[in-house]
């Protein structure tokens, strides 16, 4: 889209661009006020939470965002029907079943920085991969290590070299979330914890993992919401890319 | 006391002994029905929780238990005034300020088995030492490692050899309690976790540590109540001593 | 499997064995990093939680563990489809509908020690039997008493003689979990409580039973997570078998 | 007081009496609208919760209630200063330190029915005795058994005969409150449970005892609020006295 | 059944009877230890909670209880399939769809006393009627007033005369449960509150109603568990019938 | 202060006035950015929460607000030392011990509308009077009825006529907060509920009252935070005064 | 209906009318005591909560209310089957799918006052529109602004002019509910917050939004229950219409 | 200290250095195992939590850390007695009353990057300043804006230019924490939220602020524990400094 290009080159100010975008007819969908302004303001296109939306609504929002000039669009928590509808009707859409995500990557920023993402168990996979896709679309390299449980510390071995070269580390873990403390005690980079709702009983829908991460004995750990891979990917990419200068 | 000796030698049955004890005048204190029967029944003398008792009451119960033939008496959660009162008025009483405990060890069973106790931080000390004293009075050897935080895994090194030779391991930790999962993933012996109320905010008075231990990814861990060093020492000693055969 | 045998006979060190195992192709399944190392390290094969796994995934992990030399493999929380798939495709697999378990017992350690398991009501059955199977596979004898409610104390009668000869007692109870306190006041062996999520309203999904067990007036009780029969069976077997000397 | 007498003899209707009382100057204290009407309506004089009141305020309300014709007045949660002030300035006032109560019993109804009150431990004493005094002032006989812990079931022995002849049983217990289930499974009379805030950690300020009593496996148990000895005494006396016919 | 008759006439002691019953083959069902002893001990036949039982299991337990001599059997939380199965296969079985109950009333005790049951709204009906049926089977008269909401106080009018003549009052209410406080301030009889799980959001599954009832400003109210109509009916009948003399 | 007068007369726009005010030296205190803009914007002067402030800080903020042209200033949660300091050093300051408030009323808006405030018990007084003072300072008439408990419905009598003529009703109640439902079912005016933290145990620090009010069966009730008399007085005055036209 | 008309003209008193209505046969439906009295008493017809009612029951209550003279009837939480049944069988019924509402507006009061309703996101729509319809039926004008998220403050721009002319503002928001604080800091009219159960994890079913609104830094905000559009519409209309004079 | 210098220059490996340090006598204090290894491993000296430590213990740990070669030492949650003791006995110690901190800055890393810290209210000051001091000691520039409440959005104006040039933004806020969402919707840099325990009632000790931040509608926000200024300062400095290359 020409307009965003102009903004990026500096020939059009963001506010001016936003004003122009506001007159686009596609923007004013009945069921959702699409915020194309955010990409201009914060360097990250608005994503679409598919929960509670019909496949038709999801397709319409994606189309509107792309028409509005979005460099990329990510639909999260998208079940099979939404993923299929978007892939069928939006050219260039890619999907990941495990991450429950579908997306269009039209013009990504050049990758900068490196995020290392580690998860404790198999069930943390969907959240980790949502974070990974989000971070990649925001323009950063992602290295993934899954199933690095604390109950078998020897599993941490292969992760250590990557931790050393990370600009940001994301730890995805449920239940006791001990992995966040262990990694947080090793890594020199900022660590973002993502508690997951894995487990039952005392796992308490992820609250135990959340609280354990928040009072981790390792300083330098900050936390996003339960199962919020999207949020983790967003802040991790911002950290890894650093300030645009 | 002759009666308990007879029971131990088998010349008097426990029930008979209990019946005889029931006639002792010292037993029927106004403010607390002293249970000398328990030592006969379960091999562990009743302990005294000093919380909410005056020094005078504590001294009276201790005296009654000793008069009733107790091999040892342990007073827990005993502040300075209680400890001093008991030491002043009961011959042979020993005290430990940090564990907030005072006790009389008249005739301990011969030590059997070995319990390894590890704590995560300095503040877990009072709970760990309450557990240690209780276990020692019940007749078991205790090896202690303090300040073994997970945020510095290298601190685990000196603990490993002892873990290998333990009959039971007690892990005392608050906040994220990650130490319980790490130790639980290493030790082959049964592990008893003691969550502590250390920390603030998300530590939630020990509930986070409790829940994290309960859903630890390491199987073979069981848990006692928050700050319950006494309970941990009791079950750990029973495990380490094994069944009397 | 020859390797594990060698380890057991001492001709190969566990670390060496783990290293060799690490080169086996079957180990590196896409969806789960199978930990054959644990059996070497802790004397207990890793079990498989079927929750959220397809029958195909369950079969693949079981096969990989057996190929890796596991003496036994236990699949828990296995619904009918998983149980049938494992039994159809893994020779020697046995199943228990009530415990929602399926397992292969190729080479069990010789049984040692005795665990007595008591439950309060009919609905506690699935958890009790999961604990029982786990403990038996780890090599210990298990004696079971079901439906020993506290509201009818006379039901405790037939349990008493077995309690006396137990190396470890497991109490499975939901709601008020009063049975744990009653048994904990009688048994001389270590007692492991398993709160269950039976009941509604104030039972609070098992939290009331959990808390009641944790603050049981009977010392010597430790607790595993809500409905965690597997964890209870693991620690109970370790306690009953005692340290390998 | 003549008026209440007349009401009791039936020569004055309660409403009429209430109207007359409403004109008494003493009734309209600034800090509390004294409800002399309740004794007429429900057969139980209003009691005074001393918490947050000065000794002067307590004395003034007691005096007003007596001037208004109350047959008895009970002040609960009264610390030493309140108890002393009331005893110093109100003739015939009696006090009980342990129950933190002070009261005047001018004209009690003739005693009818029998309530048996049992408590689990020494710390439950203050709540039990508040319940006892309340029930006695309402005109019923109370039999007390303290320290009947469940961890030593043999302690229940001396209580059994009294349970058989009770019109109502009150069980006062904190922590796991297992005593309520055990007694509830034995007694044929209605059982009122009073959870107490005794204990720490998982006792959760009495909530665990409350919930355990509410989901007791013994039917026929109802519960009042945490530490609410006053409420328990009130309903127990009503039950034991039966309907006035 | 002759045995129970003998017990009632006093020619056989309850313990003796229980012993004899223990030899009956029907008693030892695989899935539930039927407690025919309770009717002898507490004057109330054991009821059957249908939740989590198949229709076949429900029928088998009912049959066993009747074979064991039960005067009546009540099955609660019985969905249509259970109700139909019991009615089809047990002669004399009656059912109530709204109360989700099915029962057999072979020989009820002669009715004594009167319970008044009031509910706040239409949705409280199932709980109220479960309580009603239980109380009637235990041998007491029940008067019912439904939909007596507090938001329209004029609705209380027709209830007042019945409140005056009650031996026990049961208040069934969810959400704010204000009806319990209003009735508790009027009735002279003991009041049993039953909080219901009606409502959403701040109603918190009945916890708000439960807590509101527990701290009702009206003394003389005791509470059973959320939605526990069965428990309320049990204690209400015991209260209303009074002690058997 | 001339500036505010000009704004009120319309000769100076609020924004212009705010800009001018921003240059006043007194405004920029180190410990608190005083918001004189709010009175201009919303017609209500900022109040001062004394909690955690020294008497000196409180006096300084009050002085700054008055210097900035505030028509009135209210300090809430002011203990004796703060009240005395303000009264000693600010001319015209008035105080109310029970409401824990001190204030200066320099130029109040002419009173308009009428708020009726009712409380359930004596202990709700401080919250009620904080609400009353706040509403009066905002320019509305307040009628107060205290101690209108639901357990004695006859106490509602004298309140009814005032309810009929209210523009807004404020109900202050803790514990079961049944008064809010009862009043909410009678009043035709908007009702604002203020839950209080009165009581212990199941009162849960005011959460039970809060939840009970939120799910009150009476529509037309909205709620402010626990013990938030200030908030209730603010919205009640706005409602009673209506839109300025 | 003539009777209500007479009441409105003053020729029949409300009580008299209520009495007459009480004799109408249609009023006494088995499953719900229809309260036609409320419209007379509080100026608002009772609405019908469709949750847990069959389409037939909903139709019957609507018909009864209309027969009883209701000016309008609103059915909330009505799924498609209920909406269709009411529209098919009650002449003049209108429905709104998004608000899950169906209603009959026979004789509305003349509109007075203006309510501005703003929501934070698309998912808050159903609650907002339930509030809107309720307020309109009670006789007030409603202006709606949807999707005014705080994460893009520029979206607030078009709302500001309407906020200035509002008699009452309703803010519908879930998750962090920050919109309530932002609007509450701008609007001079009373603000009613409606927390919604939108979101997962830390959103906690709407409790976070509820608590955030309750402790909003903006005074002058009161709150209704989670998702309670009906309650918000009721109080907002009462506020906007002001006292009938 | 020479050793650390050598490590920094690369002539001694961290592990070697740690080994050498392990032999220093000062390291092995009785009450705390001082971890000088962490500075080598993660580039951040261990800090000292003064809570629960005597002034003497604090001084001893600070001295040990400095003797061990720490570039700086920070003592947090230090009340006046601890601050004075450290300043009296450790040369070069500085203190900040408001932040409750005392520290020694011997050799700070050269400052790199810029953190902007904003707080909502005066009471958030202590937490904000603890974060500020920590970040400065780790070697980053900090810009502070206090009292930027959301209820007066105009206060955000002076903050905006600084937000644009931040490498990381820290938002300190309690109660509804709306400021985090507003800033999170504006800033392009990573945002770290610090919930504070300011407020009462529904503020719930900071849990409401925590949850509101976690489900903030603005992506790119991560959160540390309640009142954890130390943790926020740590991660913010790491983010702002970027990876050391």
C205 at D interface, C-beta within 8 A: no
Q: Which residues in chain E (133-192) have CB-CB distances under 8 A to chain G?
A: 146-147, 149, 151-152, 154-155
Q: What is the pLDDT of residue A233?
A: 97
Is D35 within 8 Å of F201 when comparing Cβ atoms?
no
Q: What is the mean pLDDT of residues G151-166?
A: 81
Of A63-67, D135-139, F212-216, G200-204, which range is least confident? G200-204
Instruction: Answer with the residue of higher pLDDT: H197 or B122.
Output: H197
Q: Do chains D and E touch (3 or more CB pairs under 8 A)?
A: yes
The token pair that represents F161 in the structure block: 């006529």
Q: What is the mean pLDDT of residues D132-138?
A: 96
Q: What is the mean pLDDT of residues E214-222?
A: 85
Q: What is the pLDDT of residue F146?
A: 93
C204 at D interface, C-beta within 8 A: yes
Distances (CA, A) of F193 to E209, F98, F131, G194: 17, 20, 11, 15
Q: Side-chain half-sphere of E193: how many Cα atoms within 13 Å?
A: 39
Instruction: Answer with the residue of higher pLDDT: A149 or D96.
Output: D96
Is D175 within 8 Å of C217 when comparing Cβ atoms?
yes
Q: Are G49 and G77 in contact (CB under 8 A)?
A: yes
The β-bridge relationship of strands D101-105 and D72-76 is antiparallel
| CB contacts, 8 Å: G32 with chain E | 122, 147
Q: What is the pLDDT of residue C24?
A: 33
Q: What is the mean pLDDT of residues G223-241?
A: 96
* Preferred mutation among H200, H205, H209 to probe F, highest tally of F CBs within 10 A: H200
What are the φ/ψ torsions at residue H14 (nearest 5 degrees)?
A: -55, -40
Q: Which residues contact F101 (CB under 8 A, 6 or more apart)?
A: F74, F75, F76, F78, F83, F95, F129, F130, F133
Grade residue F17 by pLDDT with cuts at 50, 70 and 90. Answer: very low
Q: Please state, in angstroms and rounded to a whole number, the distance separating the CA atoms of residues E58 and A65.
A: 59
Q: Please state, in angstroms and rounded to a whole number, the distance separating the CA atoms of residues G197 and G178.
A: 15
Grade residue H111 by pLDDT with cuts at 50, 70 and 90. Answer: very high
Q: What is the pLDDT of residue F6?
A: 43
How far off is chain A from H14, nearest CA to CA, in Å?
A: 13
Q: What is the pLDDT of residues B56-83, one digit of tens each?
A: 989 998 998 898 888 899 999 999 999 9
pLDDT at H22 over 70: no
Of A212-221, B103-112, H12-21, which range is least confident? H12-21
pLDDT at C2 over 60: no
Q: What is the pLDDT of residues C200-219, one digit of tens each?
A: 788 989 999 999 999 887 77
pLDDT at D121 over 60: yes
Buried b (16+ CB within 10 A) or exposed e, C144-163: bbbbbbbbbbebbeebeebb
Helix (H) and strand (E) counts for chain C? 10, 9
Grade residue D7 by pLDDT with cuts at 50, 70 and 90. Answer: very low
* Cross-chain CB nearest to E175 (options F182, F199, F215): F215
DSSP state of G187: -
Please report the beta strands in chain E, taking only residues with DSSP state E, as ranges in sequence order. Answer: 48-49, 72-76, 93-96, 101-105, 114-119, 141-145, 168-173, 191-195, 221-223
pLDDT at G109 over 70: yes
Q: What is the pLDDT of residue A135?
A: 96
Q: What is the mean pLDDT of residues D207-217?
A: 91
The β-bridge relationship of strands H101-105 and H93-96 is antiparallel
* Cross-chain CB nearest to A225 (options G123, G146, G201): G201
Buried b (16+ CB within 10 A) or exposed e, D73-92: bbbbbbeeebbebbbeebee
Q: What is the pLDDT of residue H199?
A: 83
Which residue has tokens 């309750």?
G214
Grade residue F15 by pLDDT with cuts at 50, 70 and 90. Answer: low
Q: Please state, in angstroms and rounded to a whole number, the distance separating the CA atoms of residues B22 and B34.
A: 10
Report the candidate in C242, C228, C236 with the shortest Cα–Cα distance to residue C77: C228
Which residue has tokens 């110093």?
D88
Q: Hey, which chains touch F, using 3+ CB pairs under 8 Å?
A: D, E, G, H
- 3-state secondary structure at position B81: helix
The token pair that represents B137 in the structure block: 């009075």
Q: Please state, in angstroms and rounded to a whole number, the distance separating the CA atoms of residues G153 and G143.
A: 20
Q: What is the pLDDT of residues G178-228, one digit of tens each?
A: 999 989 988 889 999 999 998 878 898 999 999 999 988 777 899 999 999
Q: In what order do the strands lie in the sheet with C72-76?
A: C48-49, C72-76, C101-105, C93-96
Q: In what order do the strands lie in the sheet with E48-49?
A: E48-49, E72-76, E101-105, E93-96
Q: What is the pLDDT of residues B171-189, one digit of tens each?
A: 999 999 999 998 998 888 9
* Preferred mutation among C201, C209, C227 to probe E, highest tally of E CBs within 10 A: C201
DSSP state of E107: S
Query: Please, is D11 exposed, middle or buried when counting C-beta atoms within 10 Å of its C-beta (0-12, 13-18, 19+)?
Result: exposed
Is E191 within 8 Å of D235 when comparing Cβ atoms?
yes
Distances (CA, A) of F12 to E89, F17, F22, F25, H224: 89, 6, 15, 21, 46
Instruction: Answer with the residue of higher pLDDT: H116 or F216.
Output: H116
* Cross-chain CB nearest to D214 (options E167, E192, E224): E224
Q: Please state, in angstroms and rounded to a whole number, the distance separating the CA atoms of residues H173 and H206.
A: 9
pLDDT at A244 over 80: no
| CB contacts, 8 Å: B53 with chain D | 122
Grade residue A68 by pLDDT with cuts at 50, 70 and 90. Answer: confident
Q: What is the pLDDT of residues B40-51, one digit of tens each?
A: 555 566 688 888
Q: Which residues contact H201 (CB under 8 A, 6 or more apart)?
A: F197, F205, F206, F210, F225, F226, F227, F228, G214, G215
Q: What is the pLDDT of residue F16?
A: 53
Is C42 within 8 Å of B190 when comparing Cβ atoms?
no
Q: Please, what is the average pLDDT of chain F?
A: 82
Please report the beta strands in chain F, taking only residues with DSSP state E, as ranges in sequence order. Answer: 48-49, 72-76, 93-96, 101-105, 114-119, 141-145, 168-173, 191-195, 221-223
Give the Cβ contact number of residue A113 at 10 Å. Answer: 21
- 3-state secondary structure at position H223: strand
How far off is chain B from A99, nearest CA to CA, in Å?
A: 23
Q: Hey, which chains touch C, using 3+ CB pairs under 8 Å?
A: A, B, D, E
Give the Cβ contact number of residue A190 at 10 Å. Answer: 32
Q: What is the mean pLDDT of residues H222-243?
A: 94
Is E32 within 8 Å of C149 when comparing Cβ atoms?
no
Give the Cβ contact number of residue F241 at 10 Å. Answer: 23
- 3-state secondary structure at position H75: strand
**ipTM of the complex in this document:** 0.83
Q: What is the pLDDT of residue G13?
A: 53
Q: Are B182 and B188 in contact (CB under 8 A)?
A: no
Q: Do chains F and C touch (3 or more CB pairs under 8 A)?
A: no
Distances (CA, A) of H208 to F206, G191, G208: 16, 20, 6
Q: What is the pLDDT of residue E26?
A: 28
Q: Side-chain half-sphere of F56: how many Cα atoms within 13 Å?
A: 3
Q: What is the pLDDT of residue E185?
A: 86
pLDDT at B1 over 60: no
Sign of the torsion formed by the C-alpha atoms of C109, C110, C114 and C118: positive
Q: What percentage of chain E reaches a pLDDT higher than 70? A: 78
* Cross-chain CB nearest to G152 (options A37, A197, A206): A37
* Preferred mutation among D149, D153, D159, D202 to probe B, highest tally of B CBs within 10 A: D202
The gap from C-alpha C65 to its chain's centroid, in whole angstroms, comes to 18
Distances (CA, A) of F158 to D122, F164, G244: 47, 12, 22
Q: What is the mean pLDDT of residues E211-232?
A: 91
Grade residue A26 by pLDDT with cuts at 50, 70 and 90. Answer: very low
Distances (CA, A) of B73 to B76, B98, B127, H79: 10, 18, 18, 39
Distances (CA, A) of H212 to G199, G202, H182, H222: 11, 7, 12, 12
Grade residue C23 by pLDDT with cuts at 50, 70 and 90. Answer: very low
Q: Are H100 and H130 in contact (CB under 8 A)?
A: yes
The gap from C-alpha F65 to its chain's centroid, in whole angstroms, comes to 18
Is B185 within 8 Å of A152 when comparing Cβ atoms?
yes
Q: What is the mean pLDDT of residues A104-119?
A: 94
Q: Which residues in chain G (98-137) have CB-CB distances under 8 A to chain A?
A: 122-123, 125
Q: Please, what is the average pLDDT of chain B?
A: 82
How far off is chain E from C122, nearest CA to CA, in Å?
A: 6
Is C203 within 8 Å of D213 when comparing Cβ atoms?
no
Q: Which residues in chain A (48-107) have CB-CB distances under 8 A to chain H?
A: none
Nearest CA in chain A to C206: A201
Q: What is the pLDDT of residue F219?
A: 77
Q: Please state, in angstroms and rounded to a whole number, the distance separating the CA atoms of residues D53 and D46.
A: 16
Q: Are B95 and B58 in contact (CB under 8 A)?
A: no
């Amino acid at each position: 889209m020409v307009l965003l290009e102009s903004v990026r080159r500096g020939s059009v100010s963001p506010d001016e661009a936003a004003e122009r975008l506001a007159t686009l007819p596609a923007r004013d969908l009945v069921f959702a006020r699409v915020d194309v302004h955010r990409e201009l303001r914060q360097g990250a296109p608005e994503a679409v939470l598919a929960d509670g939306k019909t496949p038709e609504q999801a397709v319409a929002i994606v189309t509107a965002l792309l028409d509005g000039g979005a460099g990329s669009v990510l639909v999260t928590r998208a079940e099979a029907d939404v993923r299929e509808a978007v892939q069928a009707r939006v050219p260039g859409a890619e999907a990941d079943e495990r991450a429950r995500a579908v997306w269009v990557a039209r013009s990504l920023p050049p990758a900068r920085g490196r995020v290392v993402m580690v998860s404790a168990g198999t069930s943390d996979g969907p959240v980790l991969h949502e974070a990974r896709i989000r971070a990649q679309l925001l323009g950063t390299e992602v290295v993934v290590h899954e199933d690095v449980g604390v109950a078998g510390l020897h599993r941490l071995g292969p992760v250590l070299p990557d931790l050393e070269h990370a600009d940001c580390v994301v730890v995805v873990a449920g239940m006791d979330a001990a992995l966040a403390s262990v990694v947080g005690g090793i890594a020199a980079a900022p660590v973002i914890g993502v508690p997951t709702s894995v487990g039952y009983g005392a796992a308490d829908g992820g609250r135990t993992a959340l609280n354990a991460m928040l009072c981790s004995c390792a300083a330098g750990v900050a936390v996003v919401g339960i199962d919020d891979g999207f949020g983790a990917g967003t802040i991790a990419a911002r950290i890894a890319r650093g300030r645009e200068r």
